[in-house]
């Protein structure tokens, strides 16, 4: 177990998670704990963080830190524990497409570990980015009561509306953010908005015209040789203004549905629809 200060009194700790049958046998993860000076002694709500396709890098660790600074116990399982992205990425996407498999067992390990902590209120959310955003959407529709809120960030949707409707039936509340410059997910925000409305799920879906894929990241990531291509094709990379608004919406949504979050920055727009500015 490796522990380090993360600024603002929060701590980030590299942890081992109890494995589940069918999951990674030596599952690792990153746990972010709120500052007791800022947020008291708890208990705090928990948030499972599902990382991007590039794995647990410094950018993803800072997403865990950000959630801890907002007053949540944040735990990110390393879905590539068994061999890194090169060996695990294909299997992880296969599990995502199937809706079950090792990656889902690993995420469930993280949820169970949060629930077992004395500092946890018992209310659990999930947030995902890129590949993790697709997982967060799948998990929103997992058995009733498993998650209390889901934050879907530029996550791919099921390919047809019937599958989307089936996934969203009985889903927990969803806050979702997409980039208008992300050609790989063109129309996803509109489809998700319609699906959530049809399912009667409380939601806040927004598309940011100035943003592309991975706009919530605070720095470029992924292989350096691929970054210019990703920026050109899907607009990948930070967009600070859109990210600030999206984080304000996420925190406000989590505060409403999980409770016990931080003092939140004022929201810069109204939820429940796309942004057109």
Task: Kindly list the distances between the CA atom of residue 23 and the CA atoms of 17, 134, 189, 256, 267, in Å, as whole numbers in the listed order.
Answer: 11, 19, 32, 32, 39
Continuous H helices in 141-226? 161-168, 188-199
Confidence of residue 275 (pLDDT cuts 50, 70, 90): very low
Decide if 74 contacts 67 (C-beta within 8 A).
yes
Of the pLDDT bands very low, low, confident and very high (cuts 50, 70, 90), residue 268 is: very low
pTM value is 0.90
Residue 228 confidence (pLDDT) above 70: yes
Task: Give the pLDDT confidence score for residue 272 in this predicted structure.
Answer: 37
Residue 273 pLDDT > 80, yes or no? no
User: What is the pLDDT at residue 216?
Assistant: 98
Percent of the chain exceeding pLDDT 70 equals 90
pLDDT digits (tens, 9 = 90+) for 93-144: 999 999 999 999 999 999 999 999 999 999 999 999 999 999 999 999 988 7
In this prediction, residue 83 carries a pLDDT of 72
Spell 203-233 as b/e; 16+ CB within 10 A means b. Answer: bbbbbbeebbbbbbbeeebbeeeeeeebbee
Q: What are phi and psi of 73, to 5 degrees?
A: -70, 115
What's the pLDDT score for residue 262? 41
pLDDT attached to residue 260: 62
d(CA 210, CA 248): 17
Task: Identify the pLDDT of residue 277.
Answer: 26
DSSP assignment string, 165-177:
HHHHTTPPPEEEE
Q: What is the pLDDT of residue 4?
A: 60
- How far is residue 84 from each of residues 21, 24, 27, 34, measured CA to CA in Å? 20, 12, 12, 28
Quick: pLDDT tens for 46-81: 999 999 999 999 999 999 999 999 999 999 999 999
Buried b (16+ CB within 10 A) or exposed e, 13-45: bebebeebeebbeebbbbbbbbbeeebeebebb
As a residue count, the chain comes to: 277
Supply the mean pLDDT for the chain.
Answer: 90
């Amino acid at each position: 177990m490796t522990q380090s200060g993360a600024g603002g009194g929060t701590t980030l700790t590299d942890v081992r998670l109890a494995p589940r049958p069918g999951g990674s046998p030596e599952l690792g993860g990153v746990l972010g704990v709120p500052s007791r000076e800022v947020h008291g002694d708890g208990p705090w709500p928990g948030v499972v963080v599902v990382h991007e396709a590039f794995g647990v890098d410094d950018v993803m660790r800072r997403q865990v830190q950000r959630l801890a600074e907002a007053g949540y116990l944040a735990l990110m399982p390393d879905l590539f524990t068994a061999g890194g992205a090169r060996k695990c990425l294909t299997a992880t996407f296969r599990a995502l497409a199937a809706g079950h498999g090792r990656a889902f067992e690993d995420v469930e390990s993280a949820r169970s570990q949060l629930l077992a902590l004395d500092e946890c209120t018992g209310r659990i959310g999930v947030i995902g980015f890129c590949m993790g955003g697709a997982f967060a959407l799948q998990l929103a529709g997992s058995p009733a009561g498993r998650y209390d809120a889901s934050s879907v960030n530029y996550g791919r949707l099921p390919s047809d509306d019937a599958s989307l409707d089936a996934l969203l039936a009985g889903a927990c509340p969803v806050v979702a953010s997409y980039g208008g410059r992300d050609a790989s997910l063109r129309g996803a925000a509109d489809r998700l908005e319609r699906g959530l409305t049809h399912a009667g799920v409380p939601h806040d879906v927004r598309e940011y015209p100035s943003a592309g894929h991975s706009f919530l990241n605070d720095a470029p990531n992924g292989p350096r040789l691929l970054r210019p291509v990703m920026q050109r094709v899907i607009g990948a990379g930070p967009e600070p203004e859109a990210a600030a608004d999206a984080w304000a919406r996420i925190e406000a949504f989590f505060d409403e549905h999980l409770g016990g979050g931080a003092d939140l920055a004022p929201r810069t727009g109204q939820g429940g629809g796309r942004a057109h500015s």
